[in-house]
Chains A and B, each alone.
Chain A
Amino acid sequence: MSRTLVRPVLVAALLALLLICGRFAVAGAASLEDALTGTLAPSAAPSLLGPITSAGRVGWECKPERSAASGGWHEAELPRGPFAP
């Protein structure tokens, strides 16, 4: 092979190698993102509100009913999160 041909062949090979590596890198990133798609799980469902006495739900005197209607997350007995001590 003549010297004039060696250089373009080497350059082409190098370019091809770069293209292949680049494609693998992009494919790798995409597959990682795909793999992580199902891993973001919503938080837990709220735990059950407690029992009610024979007096029945009597508005604000009934703690579970009060929790069910409260606008504040503490009183609503919502999950504190997995980070809570």
Chain B
Amino acid sequence: MRLLLAVTIIWGLVAARAAAQTYTPQRPLPTTTSVPALRALATQREIEERFRIGIDAESRGDWTSAVAEFKRILALNPPEPKGSTARYDLAIAYANLTRYDDAARELRAAIALDPAFLAAMANLVSVDLSRGDLGEARQIADRYIAMDPDSARALYSRGIVALQAGDAVTAREDFGKLLRNNPSYAVAHYDLALAEERLGRYVSAERELRTALSLAPAYARARFALGVVLLREGEHDAARNEFQRATVDAAGDPALQNIAASARDSIPVP
């Protein structure tokens, strides 16, 4: 009888220990009773929770709530990399609220904290394009490419900035390099064609546009651009045909459709 009781007690202890192992807490309890240390742990925990809540808010498009969360994180003065990351996330919320100046300020601060933060550079170029600051966009894009010369986004971003700023030579170099790694990217063929057209290299522009259209036959903007290039080459009949096709392909873009129709009707029928 005593033996049976002892076995039962031992079995009970083993079972209880196994159950305890199953429910090991994820966050071990602090082993300090120091008030400043406990306060620091609480702050760290608040930062983690607010990041989670802020990112959840961004994922459901609640940008105002996200701004509040990330501003509170910054008020807690988080160490790196949380500081630059909070500013980066706050900038995304501001940009979606079309507060582009605020977004740019936060991204600049994030890059100052972490000078190799490529995603922040990428977003700052896009934000600067939205706010029309081509000067800063170009400066950041140059830095982005210097840090990662093969980045597709860096090449594309600087190419777009260069085209908008009238620097067709840089745009030609960037889109050309982007296409060496991505020959089937129709959009880059279109933008390279624009650079070639602005440099008066119509044969090259026509070739790039025909490549873009072979990759994406319904690319109405490329079709329209091909009409313009053919017109510059003196191929009026071929240009009219392309404008006609552009009016059909641009069914979802009334502005482009109107321009294409006007161009088509401005060329006399032989």
Chain A residues with CB under 8 Å of chain B are 25, 28-29, 32-33, 35-36, 39-58, 62, 64-65, 67-73, 75-83
Contact = CB atoms under 8 A, between A and B. Distances in A.
B89 A48 contact: no
B151 interface: yes
Contact of B263 (A36, A75, A80): A36
Secondary structure at chain A's binding surface: helix, strand, loop or mixed?
loop
A83 B118 CA distance: 29
B226 to A, nearest CB: 10
B72 interface: no
B126 to A, nearest CB: 5
B152 A51 contact: no
Contacts, number: 162
A47 B244 CA distance: 31
Interface in B202-233: 216, 218-221, 224-225, 228, 231-232
A21 B140 CA distance: 53
A54 B129 contact: no
Interface of B: 47-48, 51-52, 54-55, 58-59, 80-82, 84-85, 88-89, 92, 95-96, 114, 117-119, 121-123, 125-127, 129-130, 148, 150-154, 156-157, 160, 163-164, 178, 181-182, 185-188, 190-191, 194, 197, 216, 218-221, 224-225, 228, 231-232, 236, 249, 252-253, 259, 263, 266-268
A25 B55 CA distance: 61
Given A43-B160, A73-B187, 18 more contacts: A28-B268, A36-B263, A39-B228, A40-B225, A41-B221, A42-B164, A43-B187, A46-B126, A47-B126, A51-B89, A53-B55, A56-B80, A65-B118, A67-B153, A69-B118, A71-B182, A76-B152, A83-B186
